Amino acid sequence: ATRATLEPFDGTGTTADGHRVPLLANVGGGEEAAVAAAAGAEGVGLLRTEFCFLNRTEEPAVEEQVAAYKAVFEAFPGKKVVVRTLDAGADKPLPFLTDATEPNPALGVRGYRTDWTSPGVLERQLRAIARAGAESGAVVWVMAPMIATAEEAGRFAELCAAAGLKTPGVMVGGPSASLAAGSILKRVEFASLGTNDLTQYTMAADRQLGPLAGLNDPWQPAVLRLVQATVQGARPQDAAEAGAKSVGVCGESAADPALAVVLVGLGVSTLSMTARALPGVAAVLRSVSLDQARELAGRALSAASSAEARAAVRAKLPVLD
Ligand code: PEP
């Protein structure tokens, strides 16, 4: 088969044997959300709220935040929209929240951690998200970036509950969150793997540095093992627990069709990506059964390098020839 024989995306992510994998979009605001909805996205898997307020020297007022979030929610009535609270710091500094003089910004006070140095900003943001949700028809989930411990996840869940937000979750962007997924997911409802950061922190390689691009590759078997560990942590630990919690992927890895198949084979339940990648991922997903995806995931996991993992999987996906 060739690309020309692939079916176009009809807005429903599924494997050849009917295993559903909702295909969602990563967006940075209302305009991108409208484009994503038109492209057939089944919802939003990552709203990067910090993109709404880049370069601000002052915290945006709650009213302004409500308007920005509503613009996204209104593009997806009745659909899931996963809102990430401000992921300020490192590659995305927000002058009102982060300290530009930190020696190691990627390892500094960023993401959820800014709640420790700027108390109140997160609570006001959660209130704004809740109000925007109540005034629109979207199904709003909310997640915190840079969570490293179950204690942090628990505190975030409490803040969400106080704001009236019922579905709290975490981004898994570092090895600590991945390895502690079992205890973290006792405190929150879902996890979303940010494979851009997970790769950077697993490989100890700054994602912004070109010479490190070979390390910054989500096909690295070490990264795939942490994806696997996260999914395993989301499974019920004993018979008394309810079913597995949702583990999605919202990093760029989900936009690579061959890697998307591997992620599904590892047990990831949703994939979120830039809207233009949706048709290609949907088409390749439809060319494999869930069992085939699992088999390909096994090959990638046991490879000795990222190049070997990529080649082993691509060789078995004729639609990518
Ligand atoms: C990620 O880290 O994979 C992610 C999706 O977040 P960011 O916006 O930092 O790329």
Tokens of 173: 């962007």
Q: For the residues of 52-71, what is the DSSP string, one character each?
A: GGTT-SSPPPHHHHHHHHHH
* Phi, then psi, of 46 in degrees rounded to 5: -155, 110
Neighbours of 80 (CB within 10 A): 19
Q: Mean pLDDT throughout 193-219?
A: 97
Q: What mean pLDDT is predicted for residues 181-206?
A: 97
In percent, how much of the chain has pLDDT > 70? 97
Helix%, strand%, coil% for the chain, nearest 5 = 45, 15, 40
Specify the long-range contacts of residues 147-152, CB closer than 8 Å, at least 24 apart: 147/111, 147/112, 147/171, 147/172, 147/173, 147/177, 147/184, 148/174, 148/176, 148/177, 148/180, 149/176, 149/180, 149/184, 150/180, 150/183, 150/184, 150/186, 150/187, 152/112
248 beta partners: 192, 270
> Which of 44, 196, 247 maximizes ligand 1 atoms within 8 Å of its Cβ, making it the mutation to test the pocket?
196
* For residue 2, pLDDT beyond 90: no
Q: Please indicate whether residue 197, judged by its CB atom, sits closer than 6 Å to ligand 1.
A: yes
Output the residue whose Cα is nearest ligand 1's atom 4. Answer: 194
Question: Ligand 1 center to residue 199 CA distance, Å?
Answer: 10
**Residue 4 pLDDT greater than 50, yes or no:** no
Q: Which sign does the torsion angle of CA 163, 165, 166, 168 carry?
A: negative
Atom of ligand 1 minimally distant from the CA of 91: 9
Please report the pLDDT score of residue 8 as a whole number.
52
Instruction: Report how far ligand 1's centroid is from the alpha carbon of 186 (Å).
Output: 23
What's the pLDDT score for residue 222? 98
Q: Which residues pair with 81 in a beta bridge?
A: 44, 140
Distance 196 CA to ligand 1 centre (A): 5
Q: Residue 276, Cβ neighbours under 10 Å: how many?
A: 12
Q: How far apart are CA 160 and CA 116, in angstroms?
A: 16
Name the residue with tokens 């020696």. Answer: 103
Give the separation between CA 71 and CA 116, rounded to whole angstroms: 29
pLDDT tens, 129-174? Answer: 999 999 998 999 999 999 999 999 999 999 999 999 999 999 999 9
Mean pLDDT of all residues belonging to the chain: 94
Residue 235 tokens read as 């499974």
196 C-beta closer than 6 A to ligand 1: yes
pLDDT tens-digit profile of 263-316?
Answer: 999 999 999 999 999 999 999 999 999 999 999 999 999 999 999 999 999 999
Identify which has the larger pLDDT, 57 or 2: 57
Cite the DSSP H helix spans in 119-185: 121-134, 150-163, 175-179, 181-184
Query: What are the structure tokens assigned to 171, written together?
Result: 């981004």
Quick one: which of 252, 262, 242, 240 has its CA closest to 314? 262
Tens digit of pLDDT for each residue in 116-132? 999 999 999 999 999 99
Quote the strand ranges of 70-174, DSSP E. Answer: 80-84, 139-144, 168-172
**What span, in angstroms and rounded, lies between the C-alpha atoms of 18 and 122?**
40
Tell me which residue of 145, 232, 156 sits closest to 196, measured CA to CA.
145
Phi/psi for 92 (5° steps) reads -130, 70
Query: Does any ligand 1 atom lie closer than 6 A to the CB of residue 46?
Result: yes
pLDDT tens track for 46-56: 999 999 998 89
User: What pTM value is reported for the model?
Assistant: 0.95
CA 250 / ligand 1 centre spacing (Å) = 7
SS3 for 234?
coil
